[in-house]
Copies of this chain bind each other. A is one copy, B any other.
Amino acid sequence: MKNKSKVLLGPGPTNIDDKVKIALSREPISHLDAEFFGVLDEITTSLREVFQTKNKIAFAVSGTGSSGMEMAMSNLVEPDDEVLILKNGEFGSRMENLALRLRARVSTLSVPWGESFDQLDVIKKISSLPQLKVVALVHAETSTGVLQDIDLIGNYLKNTDIVFLVDAVTSLSGVELKVDEWGIDVCFSGTQKCLSVPPGLSPITFNDKALMKINNRKTPNSSWYFDLKMITDYWGEDRVYHHTAPVNMLFALNEGLSICLEEGLTRRFKRHRDNGEYFFYRMKELGLESFVDVDKFRSLPMLKSVLIPAGINDSEMRMDLLLNHGIEIGGGLGPTKGKIWRFGLMGFNSSKELIDNLFDKLELYID
């Protein structure tokens, strides 16, 4: 087993293209080499396309997806700022936790895990908070498999001074995400989901409205590592050294973005949508049930949450599937632990062939 590839159908990382492996194993070059600055520029150009934005600032944080959350919030949120966090799963709660550490005044709006927010309810809540500075939500809740519509909220916030922060870790390049059109001011993601690059970087973009709030801070960011001004002095034209960029991971991201844009966003979204629907077809055929009530809420095309049928030992079954059939699937987090499975159909791994192979094996466990 040790040398045979495992098929990763959990919530990330995914398997990766051979071209990404070649990029990963390139001989390193200096983070201050003009050749490497060319790589950074290519990444910025590709990220603008993937995020569907004209923002000047688009780069990859030198850390995993959660470091993108911290890059976004630690720059945007000052002590005593009023911040509204939408909570419908693990990753909303994580943003609340960070906002409290940053000494913000935090309001939350919650719905149960597995549900999404009615955008009009969110707008009503926003308009009830006159001192509000930042609204943060998760586009694709990886813990529950729910997609949150955000266009109306973003368009409402466009006409205010409130900054709109969106966690797109799982959605980027797998489902429509229009940063500029939807009025998103800061958006971050991860590499190990639909981009199918190993974990270790967090693509992120900031618009001018967000930069203005950051430039007007009265107190410094409590983080040096995530100080946006210093990092953009390196990614931008000045090329001032801040920290030694993770060069091999950035080679890999550049390759992953090229593969993504060669396919094209429209085709990539369709592939994820088609395979998400095919997954549901096979799921129902096997008599399994979606955790997300799809009559009321939108299920993520790239992450399917499924109720574990009675009589199955969750952790034993997943261990057996991994060890004897080489397939990794995800378990639940927090309140859904032992209650749901999470199936990732992301990027490189969003394919009918892998779904067929998965269900052929799942049938062995389910009567």
Name A's B-contacting residues (CB within 8 A). Answer: 2, 5-6, 8, 10, 12-16, 21-22, 24-25, 27-35, 62-67, 69-70, 74, 94, 97-98, 100-103, 190, 192, 198-200, 220-225, 241-249, 252, 319, 322, 328, 333
Contact = CB atoms under 8 A, between A and B. Distances in A.
22 contacts: A5-B27, A6-B27, A6-B33, A10-B30, A13-B247, A24-B24, A24-B248, A25-B25, A28-B192, A28-B199, A33-B322, A66-B242, A70-B223, A98-B224, A100-B220, A101-B223, A103-B222, A192-B244, A198-B249, A199-B247, A200-B246, A248-B252
Given A30-B328, A101-B223, 9 more contacts: A22-B25, A62-B64, A63-B63, A69-B225, A97-B224, A198-B248, A198-B249, A200-B246, A200-B249
A34 B243 CA distance: 32
Contacts of A27: 5-6, 15-16, 21
Question: Which 7 A-B pairs have CB atoms at the shortest separation, nearest pair first?
Answer: A200-B246, A25-B25, A21-B25, A198-B248, A66-B243, A222-B222, A98-B224
A33 B30 CA distance: 33
Q: Which of A190, A222, A225, A246 has the most CB of B within 10 A?
A: A225
B67 A244 contact: no
B63 A67 contact: yes
Contacts of A224: 66, 69-70, 94, 97-98, 101
Contact of A200 (B15, B30, B192, B248): B248
Interface majority SS (helix, strand, loop, mixed), chain A: loop
Q: Which has the most chain B C-beta neighbours within 10 Å: A24, A97, A244?
A: A244
B245 A199 contact: yes
A10 B32 CA distance: 10
A1 B225 CA distance: 33
Contacts of A243: 64-67
Nearest to A249: B200
